Amino acid sequence: MATAALALLHAATAALSLLPHPLAPRAFRAASFASLGYLAFLSYGLLSSAVYVASLNRGLGTGIAAALLAVWAVVALLTLPFACWGVASTGGLRLLRPERRPTPALAALAALALLAALSLLLRHRVAKADVLPVPGGAPSRTGAALREALSSFDALPAPPAKAPSLMTTAPAACAAPPEPGRPTLVVTHLARAEAPERAAAATRCLQPAPGDDLAAALRGALADALRGPLKLDVISAVQPLASPGPGLVGLSLRPGLDGLCLAERCLMPWQLIAMDAFNTNAPLAGVPDFRFGVDLAVLRRALGEPEPPGGRGPGGPDDAALRSGLARIETLSYAVDAEGALHLLSRIGEPSVPLTEATAQRAAAAAQRYILGAQRKDGMFRYIVDPFTGRASFDGFSIARQAGTTLALCELGGGEGGAPVRPELRKVVQRSLGLLAKLERKGGEGGAIGALVYPADSPGMVASLNPTALSLVAFLSCRDVVGDTHDALIGRLARMVLATQRDDGGFAPQLDLARVAPILGPTQLYEGGQSVLALTLLEALAAREPRPELPPAAEVRAAVDRAMDYYANRYWDHFASDFVYMEENWHCLAARAALGRHRRDDYERFCLDYVAFKSRLVLDEDSDVAPDLVGGYGFGNVLPPHNTSTAGFGEALAGAMAVKEARGEDLARERALMERVLGFLVRQQWSPATCFACSRDVVIEGGFSESMASPRIRIDYVQHAWAALGHGGRMLGLVPGRSAPAAGPL
């Protein structure tokens, strides 16, 4: 409303000035003062929001607070010069003239400024929660106190062979709302039943009387438990829920760290993750896929309230109604595994897991097991699974992601140095390649060109480059595993990629298979690097084993050279190229693959420049973020780093390290960066300790969720994380094998 009113004043000023009309100067003056008032109004709103969010989520870096201040800078640029010019040209500020004494209006302005400053200070103080007592007397000693309380764990009855998980979305029912002076511990365990097979998860809220020992209350509560996984949440802080600012109510809770209470009913942070609550807020009604933060109306219903008081709405007065009676809680999160070991957790990760040779190899092996177990008999990999409910889906199948997963199996699954490939792995690869082969659609004279299309029976003769290029990479990379069975198909797919190459060396996104004519237009993300990688691998095969099914080696080499020249010299040739690199990870993989046969200095530098740019977004110890975020690829504490973006950067970094090693350059900085990235991934992988509430119907351990606050697992999340662990681990000497061919001359 304020913006619309200001716009009307500007319109009136413009109209009166064009007439011209004697009231034009007055309108100009009114619009100028209104602009100053609008800027003051917006400055307070944005600054108070930034202060609150920054206080709630320390170390934002270039996150939400910086974005809010950037918005303020744009508004100030469009408002302040015009307003000052208008006031000065229509008489100036009479209150500030030397001949005039201070007036009540000037005193009121000073008082208003002081009030705003005090309000901002209070805003900062409001973000700090009240501390609750915890076992041991200090958070650092809580773990020791809980271990002592769990001394009788081994004496508990054994759970049934097919025991359920601890998954429950029912809120804990406490005797009273958590508050300062009242210790509160929420225990989730397998409860005993008359029939062992009926054991189920139960949640208890322990609030001993003042002076009583919370650890002793825990020992008493375990009398009804089975010897199985336990989840312990010690509520360490509480505060009434406050709004971060207009339109930011979805950021009231820190993703994965905060729980929520409505009176005596409380949902723990891990339960909010299991409900995917941190991705339910849709601030833009017209963009349903744009979701971040919590929807308090949904959470109120989850806490047992059918409808929030005072109605619902995305902002304005309804925010207060949505927050009424809600309290944000912080917890010290622990899990007890089946052997009785106590693990400190953060969100859905285990922050104390270090990056070592053992943990890196264990993580890589677990990721491989997840992928091997995710394939069905027709070769398709399970696309999405919810780790808590076990609901799996093969919908949304993507040729490129199927091919990328197969590529990881062939690159990292074994067989290095002449070692035999395990039959289980070979069978999975053969199934996947067989599935991809069935999706081929032929074109050109005599069917000499092939492309992969899904669904296979979709109409038309237009094929996209992306699925074909990455599938060609998979077929070439898996040739050592399955032999030359698919050489004829490799040749047809290669001719499709070659046919899409433009005269400048780039690639068209589509090909008309009937006319064998490229269809020009904007390219998709990744397909340029994937095409260069495919042709680089093809060049090596065609030179090593000339076959009539394959394009001539000289033709392929020329195509590779044109493509490298284009992407190195013209692809990012614009003013802001150093600041807006997109996802060019595959170019580093192509540069690494070319080390043995087709090196170009400019193309290698393109990879190194890209990785240097992206490394700025990897959170380190100086980023002032939570320790479990260090090594993640992101923007600070507010929005947790995505595992796939972090893993993709790790893949590119591994390729860049191989390139720098071949160039004889120092790798000390890259090694430290890779250690942070892989350390982050090791902490984010689903493990026996973090899977206390995972479904028992499908394999979850070894998988990777979208982020530490978004639980769903997609097959490419696991594939990219495994690739980063495998190739990055090899570059660090943590994982056996070699990630780069012997380098040829530059």
**Pairwise CA distance, residues 93 & 590, whole Å:** 65
Query: CB-based contacts of 504: which residues, under 8 Å, 6+ apart?
Result: 562, 566, 570
pLDDT tens digit string along 573-615? 777 777 777 789 999 999 999 999 999 999 999 999 999 999 9
Q: 211-215, 347-351, 610-614: which range is least confident on average?
A: 211-215
Question: CA 123 from chain center: how many Å?
Answer: 29
Please, which residues bridge with residue 707 across strands? 642, 710
Judge contact between 354 and 679, C-beta under 8 A: yes
Judge contact between 458 and 522, C-beta under 8 A: no
**Pairwise CA distance, residues 35 & 503, whole Å:** 53
Average pLDDT rounded to a whole number, residues 522-537: 93
pLDDT number for residue 704 = 97
pLDDT number for residue 601 = 97
pLDDT number for residue 167 = 95
pLDDT number for residue 385 = 97
Average pLDDT rounded to a whole number, residues 697-704: 95
Does the model's pTM come out above 0.75? yes
pLDDT tens digit string along 358-417? 999 999 999 999 999 999 999 999 999 999 999 999 988 999 999 999 999 999 987 565
With residue 392 as reference, give the H or E element that holds it. Answer: strand 392-393
For the chain, give the mean pLDDT: 87
pLDDT number for residue 312 = 47
Say how many CA atoms lie within 13 Å of 331 toward its Cβ.
Answer: 34
Domain extents in the chain: 2-126, 130-345, 357-732
Q: Residue 288: is its pLDDT beyond 90?
A: no
pLDDT number for residue 89 = 84
Judge contact between 603 and 591, C-beta under 8 A: yes
Q: Residue 618: is its pLDDT beyond 90?
A: yes
Q: Residue 722: is its pLDDT beyond 80?
A: yes
Length of the chain: 746
Tokens of 552: 């001539």
Give residue for tokens 């993640």: 632
**Pairwise CA distance, residues 303 & 306, whole Å:** 9
**Pairwise CA distance, residues 382 & 107, whole Å:** 69
DSSP annotation of 463 reads E
Judge contact between 330 and 235, C-beta under 8 A: yes
Give residue for tokens 């190459």: 501
Tokens of 260: 């929520």
**Pairwise CA distance, residues 579 & 614, whole Å:** 9
pLDDT class of 119 with cuts at 50, 70, 90: low
**Pairwise CA distance, residues 579 & 587, whole Å:** 18
Q: Residue 313: is its pLDDT beyond 50?
A: no
pLDDT class of 116 with cuts at 50, 70, 90: low
Average pLDDT rounded to a whole number, residues 417-432: 85
The DSSP-derived string for 151-210 is: GGGGGSPPPPTT-------PPEE-SS---TT--EEEEEEEEP-SSGGG-EEEEEEE-PPT
pLDDT class of 87 with cuts at 50, 70, 90: confident
Tokens of 528: 């340029």
Q: Residue 345: is its pLDDT beyond 60?
A: yes
pLDDT tens digit string along 55-79? 554 444 345 566 667 777 888 887 8
pLDDT class of 300 with cuts at 50, 70, 90: very high
How far lies 659's CA from each of 109, 532, 690, 720, in Å?
A: 62, 16, 37, 20
**Pairwise CA distance, residues 304 & 327, whole Å:** 15
Domain 357-732 -> CATH class: mainly alpha
CA dihedral of 687, 692, 696, 699, whole degrees rounded to 10: -10
pLDDT class of 133 with cuts at 50, 70, 90: confident
Question: CA 63 from chain center: how many Å?
Answer: 14
pLDDT number for residue 61 = 35
Question: CA 689 from chain center: how many Å?
Answer: 22
pLDDT class of 435 with cuts at 50, 70, 90: very high
pLDDT class of 308 with cuts at 50, 70, 90: low
Q: Residue 95: is its pLDDT beyond 60?
A: no
Number of neighbours of residue 466 by Cβ within 10 angstroms? 24
Q: Residue 283: is its pLDDT beyond 70?
A: no
Q: Residue 151: is its pLDDT beyond 90?
A: no
Sign of the alpha-carbon torsion through 339, 342, 347, 353: negative
How far lies 202's CA from each of 69, 153, 442, 660, in Å?
A: 46, 17, 58, 55
Average pLDDT rounded to a whole number, residues 45-56: 65
Q: Which of helix, strand or coil describes residue 391?
A: coil
pLDDT class of 522 with cuts at 50, 70, 90: confident
574-579 long-range Cβ contacts below 8 angstroms, 24+ apart: 578/609, 578/613, 579/613
Q: Residue 110: is its pLDDT beyond 80?
A: no
Q: Residue 105: is its pLDDT beyond 70?
A: no
Q: Which of helix, strand or coil describes residue 232?
A: strand
542 closest CA partner among 533, 551, 534: 551
pLDDT class of 635 with cuts at 50, 70, 90: confident
Judge contact between 382 and 396, C-beta under 8 A: no
Average pLDDT rounded to a whole number, residues 444-451: 94
pLDDT class of 315 with cuts at 50, 70, 90: very low
Q: What percent of the chain has pLDDT over 90?
A: 58
Highest mean pLDDT among 58-67, 414-423, 664-673: 664-673
